[in-house]
Structure 1
Amino acid sequence: MNWYQTWNNPLKNLLWWLVIIGMLGSLPLAYMRHETETSTKNVEFVFDYRDLLDIADLQTNPQKFVQDQLGKMKAAGIGSMAVYESTLAEFKESRRIDLYNSRDAAALTQTFGDPSENFTYLLFTNNEAQQKLEPLIQKTFADLGVGVKPWSFKNRSGLVIQMSPDDAAIKAMDPDPIAMQMLKDQGFQLVVRLSNHREFKSNDMDRLLKQLHDLGVKRIIVDGNEVPGYTEENTEENLNKMADLLNKYGMGLAAIELLKEPQKGFSTLAKQTNYNVVRLHSFTEKDGDKLTEPLKKSELEGRIQGVADRFVLAVKDRNIRMVFINGHAVKSLDRAKVVDPLSAYYESLTGTDGAIPRIEKFGFDLGPAQPFEVHTTSWQKVARVFLLIGGLSLVVLMLSFFIPEGTLIFFVLGLIGLVGVHVLSANLYAQGLALMTAISAPSVAVMLAIRTVRSGASAKWKSGIGFGLWLLLRTSLISLIGIVYEVALLNHITYSLVLQQFRGVGLLHLLPIAIAGLYLLFFSENNTYSEKLANIRRILSSYISVLWIVIAGVGLAAVYYYLSRTGNEGQASTVEKLFRSYLENTMGVRPRTKEFLVAHPIFVLGGYLAVRYRHAVYLLFIGVVGQLSLVDTFAHLHTPLHISLLRIFYGLVIGAILGLILCAAWEIVARSWKRWAKPQLLK
């Protein structure tokens, strides 16, 4: 086995060089992502026109209300209106038609109706409505195989639709041409919501998209769970036709964030339109209802400020380029009137500390949302080799802390395995290697810190503060290596648009803790494998005391609390939310609480004490939470890189300062103990 040792021992040192070379070779890919996500700065605020009609329907003069609110929206920075596929119900709400059932129509005309008939009768309210809508209505129901015939009453023209009123009122047809022209004339950009409720016919879709293109429509929002053209059969053919039509008229899509499940066919359309997609944040009717509740003035102002903060965070921190605002009227029994959130919306956008001035302050502009311009480099193919070798080397380095004799075997088997996975699925390879490097980097960083203390190197430092700060800096820089690999491996536009998710990130929250803990307990001492096994047996065969049970309970509670705070579903108290909001508004970018308030300060204290006490290494172990958090920050692939960099920078600086305060507090307590408490106990 001499030949094996000849190759294995030098490899352990060579791995670090391979990691560094791989990281340097990957930096251009990370830079390309930065160029992509900063390629467009337009932010578009959109209001739901159908919601405006619903609110207006409860007013004394609906049409005047609509016009007044459109002017206020324009002044507040809402430059776009969203229109839907029309229905008879919406035409009625817009005062374009009046609807009757057979019984009401008979009463209106004072005739005896047919008791077996339940048709839909409609009258147009004016000539313009008849000219624009009658052909649309007739075609819609003719396509459904439903009979339509003329009808009139007192010089008003109408139609009889041979379908029940409840059924006819919800049949989808082309968007209201009168409303769209009116909104365009008032200077609004139109955004159209299209569903898959109608049978997909490429000729009809071609005609519709041309009409929308002539009105200046640039972006489509899918209404419902399926994109237009999605079917159980011939899906690929229909989606390709739909994509071709979108490309023909220069129209893109909007990806709604935080949907429970992806809209069927969306990824295909996005790819076929060369990712002409923007991310959309939806402010729902339920969100708006919180602004209509009976509140004190100060409470309402706080909620309005919260809405403004939410809009700013969406744009600045999550690459949102379209904010879609919904709202509806509520009958308030406390105030004995109908209330709506519109005035609160305007205040949140342009009032004191409003969202729009703050968004513009961050360098964004109001205007139609535009897709990212994807930047690529010819270095991409070469960088893949660096990523493979360097990423594998980082993972093998982590394993070598436990079994150094297996370094060469791990490297060879890992290389074969990764190449095989890449051949089977490039996407699985990228996500798998990104996850492994993300786990390995903070694990290696903290294990090196533990080894530094266990080896006695920390005792050679004269300054405990200097050692603590240096150790935090060195450990964080090693963790940052994993960030570079993570970003470079997952630099495709689909991750920025969240059309693909980085799977397995939950493991990043726990595995580095388990790996560093295992190393600290069983592998950090310079002993043989037989001694390590004996140590494990001794711990497993130890008697369990009540104290151990209490400690285990506290530990489990800490893990549960840690997990409850992790990820998008993490919970936070009201006080903490206010604290977060204060940090965000004060610093522009909020550092992560578990980093600057817990992990980094304790890590600095651990380094400070490690110069004198070897058992301070257990404080360093707590720092693994902060190190994995650094890497996890960049696992939010929809967050701009410069925002994530600022977040971890602020966390390190503030954490180091708080760590110094902890060191000072320790000295005060320790000296007080020696001077007063200890002598008293010895008496």
Structure 2
Amino acid sequence: MLWWIVIVGMLCSLPLAYTRHQTETSANQVEFVFDYRDLLDIADVQTNPQNFVNTELKNMKAAGISSMAVYESTLGEFKESRRIEMYNSRDAAMLTQTLGNPSENYTYVLFADNQTQQKLEPLIQKTFGDLQVGVKPWSFKNRNGLIIQMSMDDAAIKAMDPDPITLQMLKDQGFQIVVRLANRRPFHTNEMDILLKQFHSYGVKRIIVDGNEVPGYTEEDTEVNLNKMADLLNKYGIGLAAIELLKEPQKGFSTLAKQTNYNVVRLHSFTEKDGEKLTEPLKKAELADRVQGVSDRLVLAVKDRNIRMVFLNARPVKSLDKGKLVDPLSSYYAALQGKDGAIPRIQDVGFTLGQAEAFEVQTTGWQKIARFFLLLGGLSLIVWMISFFLPELTIVFFVVGLLGLVALHTLSANLYAQGLALATAISAPSVAVMLAIRSVRSGVAAKWKSGLAYGLWQLLRTSLISCLGIVYVVALLNHVTYSLVLQQFRGVGMLHLLPIAIVGVYLLFFSENNTYKEKIANIRQLLSSYISVLWIVIAGVGLAAVYYYLSRTGNEGQASSLEKLFRSFLENTLGVRPRTKEFLVAHPIFVLGAYLSVRYRHAVYLLFIGVVGQLSLVDTFAHLHTPLHISLIRIFYGLVLGAIIGLVLIAAWEILARSWKRWVQPQLSK
């Protein structure tokens, strides 16, 4: 009965999985953005800054960088872009050859020309007027300027609206504009309305939050201000970009995302520190490898992690080896459009270049009906796992679990979905491997005439049962917030350990057809056994294996440079990289164990290693920001390659076994 309820629940879940597939394939435009402020920083150390900026803008356009990110302006940025000259009181006195006032520490500004003054003076006047800082006219040698009654260091970093001259210039050159907007200024609805209206006139479709708080996030009236900010974003059709791998979520971002109907795209940031690795003194071959690594990284981000906006940063670096200042711009162009460049490869897999667009969230009327079957099917899968240990209490666990899940859903729908998804993800691979072990213990395996056929069949059967957990995880967590990583699937670390522990306990104490009295006696015998040095060595090896296994798990997992090279080879050869622990370790050993189980019952312990591969199948789909079709291809490659390597292990076993019987055993019997 549990088995059939699980199957019905799975079938009812498939439409929800399909709507997720529709959602994550609804937007395929990828936008490459460069930080315009970084371009100014690099230009500032050149002989002819303005000419350098114009040349590099053309180079970027040719390389496929179609957008520029601009920030809220500062006097420091105006100075860097040669719009103004800026002096403190002492420098101004020296410039004008007058005696300065020793008690004065003001900021003196000179505009580059009258046109620049017309554009920037109202901006500066308003900014410092809002700060209640005195501003008065000043001029020197027929150039107009201002005196700002604030120290130069302080005045240089005060935020104001983005430079309108830069915005118009970039628009005229055909660049899309992405604005980096901070929460450093007081939030006023009318002023933000005017600012966003201005952005809209320049074709801005998306803003990137600059800092830890979204505009409108305040200590008081936060919800009211965020709702007003969201209304303004909706009014002008402007969305957000969610920066991946942030240490902490930006405060208020989830609220803005929800209120804008998830008009959000995922952004991958290639930082200044990343760019510096391309400016180090390297041989041509080494630099080419790093450029290829950048290309691979960008392709992987777009293809495997639903990234739709790539943000490139750079800065000038002093190179003592070359005796000059260098930058990574030429390497960026090579990574994008050179040999095996990122952009042609991204286009080859079905993406196009253009303004990043948010996913169109697909829904289905089946959702409400499916929830009921998801509840029953998921609970049945969990109880099915428990029944391997306490079959007499199956009905009790089902009733108690049903009441508990209903209560949890009433308390928190999100906690219910994540909790049930995690429990089914743990249960499915556990049940799958325990059924394989039961097949051996009960003698079913021994009835097969072909160990090879049994090994391959057992891998297929076990993997299909594990895939039940995949369908439940995808259906329960099909909300777009998981694809955008605005919500994370919590407790995935338990998925990497609990199935191993559950199957291990079952194999040692519950897989034999014993009474509870005999099982308790076996446990007591194990606990009272004398510990030998061999046991200690085995335990040490086991702990080291567990530590290594955990060190390889998750986003923070460590890998050697040789392994990274191997991963890159697989990715570039197959298009989608299968998981190493699946096709090189778990699946092959599982096939070998199943093959040997037909003749040797103790080979069942090799099947236990297969649980790592089975939980990995489910864990692949726990990466909810990865498109479904990519995950499906990944596990397919893992199973096929794992089966092939398993056949190689079987052949090696047969060669060794027959060699032993033919040559070694006769010698030992003498």
What TM-score results when the alignment is normalised by the length of structure 1? 0.98
Counterpart pick for 1:564 among 548, 551, 555: 551
Counterpart pick for 1:163 among 150, 169, 174: 150
Deviation at 1:98, TM superposition (A): 0.1
Matched, 1:246 2:233: yes
Partner residue of 1:324? Answer: 311
Amino acid at match of 1:365: T
Partner residue of 1:496? Answer: 483
Q: Counterparts of 1:556 and 1:193 in 2: how far apart (Å)?
A: 48
Q: Counterparts of 1:547 and 1:681 in 2: how far apart (Å)?
A: 26
Partner residue of 1:583? Answer: 570
Q: Counterparts of 1:432 and 1:285 in 2: how far apart (Å)?
A: 39
Deviation at 1:128, TM superposition (A): 1.6
Amino acid at match of 2:508: L
Partner residue of 1:367? Answer: 354
Q: Counterparts of 1:143 and 1:681 in 2: how far apart (Å)?
A: 96
Q: Counterparts of 2:224 and 2:286 in 1: how far apart (Å)?
A: 54
Partner residue of 1:4? Answer: none
Describe how 1:404-419 pairs up with structure 2 within 5 A: 404-419=391-406
Q: Counterparts of 1:446 and 1:126 in 2: how far apart (Å)?
A: 77
Q: Counterparts of 1:353 and 1:110 in 2: how far apart (Å)?
A: 60
Amino acid at match of 1:79: S
Cα deviations across residues 437-491 of structure 1 (Å, max 9, x unaligned)? 0000000000000000000000000100000000000000000000000000000
Tell me the SS of whatever aligns to 1:623: helix
Cα deviations across residues 274-316 of structure 1 (Å, max 9, x unaligned)? 0000000000000000000000000000000000000000000
Q: Counterparts of 2:215 and 2:98 in 1: how far apart (Å)?
A: 44
Matched, 1:656 2:643: yes
Partner residue of 1:132? Answer: 119
Deviation at 1:544, TM superposition (A): 0.1
Amino acid at match of 1:78: I
Partner residue of 2:473? Answer: 486
Partner residue of 1:189? Answer: 176
Aligned residues: 670
Q: Counterparts of 1:509 and 1:232 in 2: how far apart (Å)?
A: 40
Partner residue of 1:303? Answer: 290
Cα deviations across residues 606-660 of structure 1 (Å, max 9, x unaligned)? 0100000000000000000000000000000000000000000000000000000
Partner residue of 2:373? Answer: 386
Describe how 1:246-645 pairs up with structure 2 within 5 A: 246-645=233-632
Q: Counterparts of 2:513 and 2:590 in 1: how far apart (Å)?
A: 23
Amino acid at match of 1:190: I
Counterpart pick for 1:51 among 38, 43, 46: 38
Deviation at 1:270, TM superposition (A): 0.2
Q: Counterparts of 2:654 and 2:564 in 1: how far apart (Å)?
A: 33
Cα deviations across residues 154-182 of structure 1 (Å, max 9, x unaligned)? 00000000000000000000001000100
List gaps (5 residues or longer) in structure 1: 1-13
Q: Counterparts of 1:677 and 1:395 in 2: how far apart (Å)?
A: 49
Matched, 1:21 2:8: yes
Partner residue of 2:79? Answer: 92
List gaps (5 residues or longer) in structure 2: none
Q: Counterparts of 1:608 and 1:447 in 2: how far apart (Å)?
A: 17
Amino acid at match of 1:120: T
Q: Counterparts of 1:237 and 1:630 in 2: how far apart (Å)?
A: 44
Q: Counterparts of 2:210 and 2:559 in 1: how far apart (Å)?
A: 32
Deviation at 1:587, TM superposition (A): 0.3
Tell me the SS of whatever aligns to 1:116: coil
The CA RMSD measured in Å over matched residues stands at 0.3
Amino acid at match of 2:424: T
Deviation at 1:678, TM superposition (A): 1.1
Tell me the SS of whatever aligns to 2:553: coil
Matched, 1:151 2:151: no
Cα deviations across residues 367-426 of structure 1 (Å, max 9, x unaligned)? 000000000000000000010000000000000000000000000000000000000000
Q: Counterparts of 2:168 and 2:67 in 1: how far apart (Å)?
A: 13
Partner residue of 1:105? Answer: 92
Q: Counterparts of 1:228 and 1:146 in 2: how far apart (Å)?
A: 23
Q: Counterparts of 1:157 and 1:433 in 2: how far apart (Å)?
A: 68
Cα deviations across residues 207-263 of structure 1 (Å, max 9, x unaligned)? 000001000000000000000010111101110110000000000000000000000
Q: Counterparts of 1:234 and 1:133 in 2: how far apart (Å)?
A: 33
Amino acid at match of 2:60: M
Amino acid at match of 1:180: L
Q: Counterparts of 1:378 and 1:608 in 2: how far apart (Å)?
A: 46
Amino acid at match of 1:25: C
Cα deviations across residues 511-543 of structure 1 (Å, max 9, x unaligned)? 000000000000000000000000000000000
Deviation at 1:197, TM superposition (A): 0.4
Q: Counterparts of 1:167 and 1:152 in 2: how far apart (Å)?
A: 22
Tell me the SS of whatever aligns to 1:634: helix
Q: Counterparts of 2:223 and 2:522 in 1: how far apart (Å)?
A: 61
Amino acid at match of 1:665: A
Amino acid at match of 1:169: A
Q: Counterparts of 1:576 and 1:425 in 2: how far apart (Å)?
A: 42
Tell me the SS of whatever aligns to 1:484: helix
Deviation at 1:129, TM superposition (A): 1.0
Partner residue of 1:3? Answer: none
Partner residue of 1:6? Answer: none
Deviation at 1:582, TM superposition (A): 0.2
Amino acid at match of 1:471: Q
Amino acid at match of 2:418: Q
Matched, 1:42 2:42: no
Deviation at 1:682, TM superposition (A): 1.5
Q: Counterparts of 1:143 and 1:238 in 2: how far apart (Å)?
A: 20
Amino acid at match of 1:486: V
Partner residue of 1:176? Answer: 163
Q: Counterparts of 1:668 and 1:554 in 2: how far apart (Å)?
A: 28
Deviation at 1:341, TM superposition (A): 0.1
Partner residue of 2:101? Answer: 114
Q: Counterparts of 1:662 and 1:126 in 2: how far apart (Å)?
A: 78
Deviation at 1:70, TM superposition (A): 0.2
Q: Counterparts of 1:422 and 1:676 in 2: how far apart (Å)?
A: 66
